[in-house]
Amino acid sequence: MAENNSRESAEQENKLILNNIQAFLICVRVSVMSKPLPGALADTKIRTRKRNLVVQKDPESFLEALEHLFVGDSLEDVFQNLDSATDIDYKTYHEFFFDRFISGSIGVCFGRVDKRKTPRSPSIFADSLSKVDAWISILERFMRKRPYMRIGIGEVIGRAMLTIDNVPQYLDHIMSICSHLANMDILKYEKTTEFFLLKLLRINHLVVSGEALSILSKFTNSYAALSSQQKAWEYLVAGEVVEKLFDFCPEHCSDVLKLLEDSYGMRWFVELYRTNQTKNNITTWEQKIIQYMQKDPEGEEETIEALREDALKQVKQCKEECNMSVEESVMFMWRCIVSLSKTMSKDIVGALKKWGPCLCTLVGDDMVMQGRLLSTVQTTCYNNPNIINSFKPIVVQLYDLEVLEADVIIAWANGNSGPGRSVFGEQLAEFVAWLEADDDEDQ
């Protein structure tokens, strides 16, 4: 009996010792797995079945390994070193790579700035502003082979933009980098919008300080120089930067435009803004007049004539406010008639019968203007399949209303320009033959 108790006691003691050893090994294993990876190299992997264990990154080892590659007599040498380093884990450490490559590891790309604020050389910040183009070219070639890095750099640069207040000496560098990446469609407008609007919101006296305008102009002028002024404008419009810029200071709109033109080299921006505003005003007028033209009174011809006179007054008022030419006012009236037929789901010939006399007043006896109107009618019919077969009825109606003269229609038929020429020529052939025969009889 005593012997059995002694044996059981020994087994329990051995079992306890074994459990303690297993617990110790687990602790050691967790301790080892919680330590950073040595070297941060691509092929350095630790296999484990414990999926809940997270291996920490080791940026210091990565940067140390990276530093040996930033050597050479030229940027091309640096590129070749970086590109040929197959054992560097760029995918895991791409943020640290960008921080080293762009800011020389002063932390700008992480939304902070180290106290020393002295970038390592070589890097974009450590080099002159004139070298940014060359650095970005190297970066583009590097990312072309590693598409996964294109995704991360937008976020990295977004954080770098937000640290500008801490490193004003690198403002030009950061804005130049941003414009290059935007031109390559890597930096999306959402990031720049976020930054510019934050800048604008933080400045109470926008016109007085000019800080936001300075930053905006540096980015936009650089972008325009790389691509085009129109593309830079569209970029800012897409991000609602243009709209918000004047929403924040509507009472100072003219002052802001004058500052941009006189002090920030953005005359092209001001011209595009004014052109865009004119287009918006014309669109507003167009909608207003179309709504007015939707009135369908049941009455005498005098009532309809009064409506036409009112519509013409509005068109002339729009012409004066928006500084439209005679031709632009004619095309404006034509668009209103076409839009009216679409809005009311009515036959365009019927709309012309009612409102065509307005065109007659605007066009007058100017045969050059008549020819341009006929070409516009041709393009409109070609671009709208639902009225492509209405070209002849439209032209006949315009002739009956004395908007188009016979000579203009015949000259068009004898020409050979514009879309859908053969189709429309066939539609109008019989009518043109009749006009020519009538002209011969008159002679």
pLDDT in tens, 115-135: 777 899 999 999 999 999 999
**Cα–Cα dist 153/18, whole Å:** 52
Count the helices and strands in the chain (H runs, E runs).
21, 0
Burial of 83 (0-12, 13-18, 19+ CB in 10 A): middle
pTM score of the predicted model:
0.69
Return phi, psi of residue 401, to 5°: -85, 0
Burial of 358 (0-12, 13-18, 19+ CB in 10 A): buried
Within its chain, how far is the Cα of 68 from the centroid? 39
Low-confidence ranges of the chain (pLDDT < 70): 1-57, 198-210, 248-249, 296-302, 345, 438-443
Encoded tokens for 402: 């004395």
**Cα–Cα dist 438/406, whole Å:** 9
Give pLDDT, residue 24. 45
Give pLDDT, residue 162. 82
Q: Are 410 and 432 in contact (CB under 8 A)?
A: yes
Encoded tokens for 16: 């306890």
Burial of 156 (0-12, 13-18, 19+ CB in 10 A): buried
CA dihedral (411, 414, 419, 421) in degrees, to 10, reads 130
**Cα–Cα dist 229/177, whole Å:** 18
Give pLDDT, residue 214. 84
Q: pLDDT (tens digit, 9 = 90+) per residue, 70-115?
A: 988 899 999 999 999 888 888 889 999 999 999 999 999 988 888 7
Count of other CB atoms within 10 angstroms of residue 274:
12
**Cα–Cα dist 108/105, whole Å:** 8
In 3D space, the residue among 327, 326, 332 whose CA is nearest the CA of residue 311 turns out to be 332
Q: Given CA atoms 138, 141, 146, 149 in this order, what sign does their dihedral have?
A: positive
Contacts of 364 (CB under 8 A, 6+ apart): none
